[in-house]
């Protein structure tokens, strides 16, 4: 089997077998959709709106939550897969195996993407099921939203996993901790504060722009990993 | 097999290795000794291709390991950290590396290694539950899963109890004896090195201070010592005076019921015995004292300090 896939399979399997990460991910995948759907349905029941408006809100939820949660879970997983492996110096042994650094990086990114994307899909399913149960009528997402979930979300997750992994490999432990508090935690707080409340209307333009951004991010990350060196990783092991 | 030529490594302005050169031949167990911070791990990391040298070469079979993935298939590694994944089982850890190294008969190989290291009954347990000694043994199994021709071991017995240390030493000797694996052993455990290594290099502050077989270094760096026990204890004082006057005796001092004599030349121990008999001193027992590697090591380190 291709060595990148060997790494990817091991990482995905390890994440799926880690009860802590799995339950936390499933918890997020249930908690955020329930909160959002309840808020939407409560508002509509008070003011009285048509099914089409409920469907639009459902669409917006499926547009935002699987992607947002996918990124959050990706970050959590990257910290385990990239950062912990570096902190425990496990990466040093792996780099002595007949596998190059880009294969290691790509394998880890694929492993994280599979895990985070499965939870994203689960989130979308939860939103769909709860919306249909609570509204009492058949509500389906638009084609644009479906394309977004099936194409854009995994690309976005992969790009984000690649970028976070690159940063975590490249920087020392202290710099990574600083980055978590200065960049990543504020990013997720702002993302979810706005996203949970916002009324999002999905359009093909939005889907296209987000897809283009994801691809660009993926390309940039793939390019900059050429500058990742074993020496840099070894010398930043604590 | 391993050629280190004038190896120098600087981190910014700090020189960690300075013109290090040595060779390790096929089938040898090579001990790379030195105090903490001497540059042993840096040397190993350069050989393994994890660090780039500032100057010089570190070659294995004439090539750079860092640039040759196929060559790395012939090399096994057990670094100071075990490099094990604690959240997966012992079996899964071995299986992962077996796949990365392209081992063909994985299942059979893994089962044999688990048997070899005595971990068969714990193969489905997560490594996080293992003791330090068990982790070390599993890491050794992982290092040899692909039948390497050369094995790099860094501080293998650090933090292990004496029983686990002995078990690992025996495993290494078995690998060297039965599989003819060349072993490069980084260590500051002199006893361990003395027991298993055929050749050693002593590194201090980034420079090689000694490089030879253990026996040669012993004779090169320590003066021969013989201990004699006299038949009559009242003659000790007289014997001490006589021995002190000899030009081939560097030092002599009384200990318990005998005299410890440091000779300038090793072949003079028989002359010494004849001399004492000629002078009418009866010797009950004479024995040659073998110096340990620790004595050699301390001699080298102290010599360096005296030179400074």
By DSSP bridging, strand B225-230 and strand B199-204 are unpaired
Q: Is residue B62 part of a domain?
A: yes
Instruction: Looking at the structure, tell me whether residues B134 and B176 fall in a common domain.
Output: yes
Instruction: Looking at the structure, tell me whether residues B254 and B193 fall in a common domain.
Output: no
The chain A residue lying nearest B46, using CA atoms, is: A231
Instruction: Looking at the structure, tell me whether residues B249 and B235 fall in a common domain.
Output: yes
Mutate to test the interface with A, among B67, B78, B85, B147 (most CBs of A within 10 A): B85
Q: Which of B51, B85, B100 sits opposite A90 (nearest CB)?
A: B85
Dist. CA A91–CA A105, nearest whole Å: 11
Q: Is residue B269 part of a domain?
A: yes
Q: What is the pLDDT of residues A77-133, one digit of tens each?
A: 999 999 999 999 999 999 999 999 999 999 999 999 999 999 999 999 998 888 888
Instruction: Looking at the structure, tell me whether residues B109 and B256 fall in a common domain.
Output: no
CA distances from B297 to B28, B35, B43, B119, B222 (A): 20, 10, 19, 36, 10
B83 in contact with A, Cβ within 8 Å: yes
CATH of the domain at B260: 3.30.70.920
pLDDT at A47 over 60: no
Which among B192, B219, B246 is the end of a domain?
B219
Q: What is the pLDDT of residues A179-226, one digit of tens each?
A: 999 999 999 988 888 777 667 778 899 899 999 999 999 999 989 988
Structure confidence at residue A55 (pLDDT): 67
Query: What stretch of H or E contains B41?
Result: helix B40-47
Instruction: Looking at the structure, tell me whether residues B59 and B71 fall in a common domain.
Output: yes
What's the pTM value of the predicted model, to 2 decimals? Answer: 0.84
The chain A residue lying nearest B48, using CA atoms, is: A96
CATH of the domain at B137: 3.40.50.300
- Cβ A92 vs Cβ B81: under 8 Å: yes
Token pair recorded at residue B97: 């590396």
* Structural domain span for residue B248: 223-290
Closest CA to A169 of A83, A73, A74, A76: A83
Instruction: Looking at the structure, tell me whether residues B155 and B275 fall in a common domain.
Output: no
Structure confidence at residue B268 (pLDDT): 66
A45: confidence class by pLDDT, cuts 50, 70, 90: low
Q: Is A207 exposed, middle or buried (0-12, 13-18, 19+ CB in 10 A)?
A: buried
The chain A residue lying nearest B81, using CA atoms, is: A89
Token pair recorded at residue A117: 């994307």
CB contact under 8 A, B49 and A230: yes
Q: What angle do CA B38, A173, B78 make, to 5 degrees?
A: 45
Q: Which residue has the tokens 């977004």?
A: A148
Arithmetic mean of pLDDT, A62-79: 92
CA distance A237 to chain B (A): 11
Whole-number mean pLDDT of chain A?
88
Instruction: Looking at the structure, tell me whether residues B204 and B249 fall in a common domain.
Output: no
Instruction: Looking at the structure, tell me whether residues B11 and B158 fall in a common domain.
Output: yes
- Backbone φ and ψ for A60, nearest 5 degrees, come out as -65, -40
Considering only CB atoms, which chain B residues are within 8 Å of A3? 99-100
Instruction: Looking at the structure, tell me whether residues B125 and B29 fall in a common domain.
Output: yes
Instruction: Looking at the structure, tell me whether residues B58 and B16 fall in a common domain.
Output: yes
* Predicted-complex ipTM score: 0.88
Q: Is residue B188 part of a domain?
A: yes
Structure confidence at residue B117 (pLDDT): 86
Split into its structural domains, chain B has a count of 2
Instruction: Looking at the structure, tell me whether residues B174 and B242 fall in a common domain.
Output: no
- Cβ B151 vs Cβ B176: under 8 Å: no
CB contact under 8 A, A93 and B73: no
What is the residue-level pLDDT of chain B in tens, covering all 308 positions?
899 999 999 998 899 999 999 999 998 999 999 888 889 999 999 999 999 999 999 999 999 998 888 899 999 999 989 999 999 999 999 999 999 999 999 999 999 999 988 899 999 999 999 998 899 989 999 999 999 999 999 988 777 778 778 888 888 888 888 888 999 999 888 888 888 898 999 998 899 988 988 888 877 766 778 888 888 877 888 888 888 888 888 888 887 778 888 887 666 677 878 888 888 888 888 887 777 778 778 877 777 666 66
By DSSP bridging, strand B14-24 and strand B2-11 are antiparallel
- Cβ A172 vs Cβ A236: under 8 Å: yes
Which among B219, B236, B271 is the end of a domain?
B219
CB contact under 8 A, B50 and A99: no
Instruction: Looking at the structure, tell me whether residues B208 and B229 fall in a common domain.
Output: no
């Amino acid at each position: 089997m291709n060595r990148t896939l060997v790494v990817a399979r091991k990482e995905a399997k390890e994440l799926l077998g880690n009860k802590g990460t799995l339950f936390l991910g499933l918890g997020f995948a249930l908690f955020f959709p329930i909160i959002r759907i309840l808020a939407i349905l409560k508002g509509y029941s008070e003011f009285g709106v048509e099914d089409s408006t409920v469907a639009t809100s459902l669409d917006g939820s499926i547009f935002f939550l699987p992607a947002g949660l996918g990124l959050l879970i990706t970050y959590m997983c990257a910290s385990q897969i990239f950062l912990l492996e570096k902190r425990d110096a496990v990466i040093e042994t792996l780099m002595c195996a007949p596998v190059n650094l880009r294969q290691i990086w790509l394998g880890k990114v694929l492993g994280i993407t599979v895990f985070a994307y499965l939870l994203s899909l689960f989130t979308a399913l939860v939103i769909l099921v709860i919306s249909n149960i609570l509204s009492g009528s058949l509500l389906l997402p638009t084609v644009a939203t479906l394309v977004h979930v099936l194409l854009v979300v995994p690309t976005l997750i992969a790009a984000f996993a690649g970028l976070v992994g690159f940063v975590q490999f490249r920087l020392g432990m202290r710099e990574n901790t600083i980055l978590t508090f200065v960049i990543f935690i504020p990013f997720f707080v702002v993302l979810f504060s706005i996203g949970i409340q916002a009324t999002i209307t999905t359009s093909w333009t939005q889907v296209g722009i987000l897809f283009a951004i994801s691809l660009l991010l993926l390309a940039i990350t793939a390019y900059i990993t050429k500058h990742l060196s074993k020496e840099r990783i070894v010398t930043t092991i604590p | 097999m391993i050629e280190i030529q004038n190896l120098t490594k600087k981190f910014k302005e700090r020189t960690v290795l300075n013109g290090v050169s040595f060779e390790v031949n096929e089938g040898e167990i090579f001990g790379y000794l030195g105090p903490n911070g001497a540059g042993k791990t840096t040397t190993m990391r350069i050989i393994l291709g994890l660090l780039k040298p500032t100057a010089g070469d570190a070659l294995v079979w004439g090539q750079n390991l860092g640039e040759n993935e196929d060559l790395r298939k012939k090399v096994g590694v057990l670094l100071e950290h075990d490099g094990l994944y604690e959240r997966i089982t012992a079996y899964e850890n071995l299986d992962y590396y077996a796949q990365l190294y392209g081992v063909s008969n994985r299942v059979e190989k893994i089962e044999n290694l688990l048997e070899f290291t005595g971990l068969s009954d714990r193969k489905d347990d997560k490594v996080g539950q293992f003791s330090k000694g068990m982790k070390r043994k599993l890491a050794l199994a992982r290092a040899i899963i692909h039948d390497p021709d050369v094995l790099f071991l860094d501080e293998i017995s650090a933090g292990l109890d004496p029983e686990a240390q002995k078990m690992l030493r025996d495993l290494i000797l078995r690998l060297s004896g039965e599989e003819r694996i060349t072993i490069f052993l980084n260590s500051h455990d002199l006893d361990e090195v003395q027991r298993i290594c055929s050749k050693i290099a002593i590194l201090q502050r980034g420079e090689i201070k000694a490089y030879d077989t253990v026996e040669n270094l012993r004779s090169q760096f320590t003066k021969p010592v013989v201990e004699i026990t006299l038949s009559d204890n009242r003659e000790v004082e007289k014997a001490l005076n006589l021995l002190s006057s000899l030009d081939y005796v560097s030092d002599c001092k009384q200990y318990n019921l005998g005299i410890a004599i440091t000779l300038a030349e090793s072949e003079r121990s028989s002359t010494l015995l004849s001399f004492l008999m000629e002078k009418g001193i009866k010797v009950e027992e004479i024995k040659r004292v073998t110096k340990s590697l620790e004595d050699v090591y301390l001699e080298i380190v102290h010599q360096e300090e005296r030179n400074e």
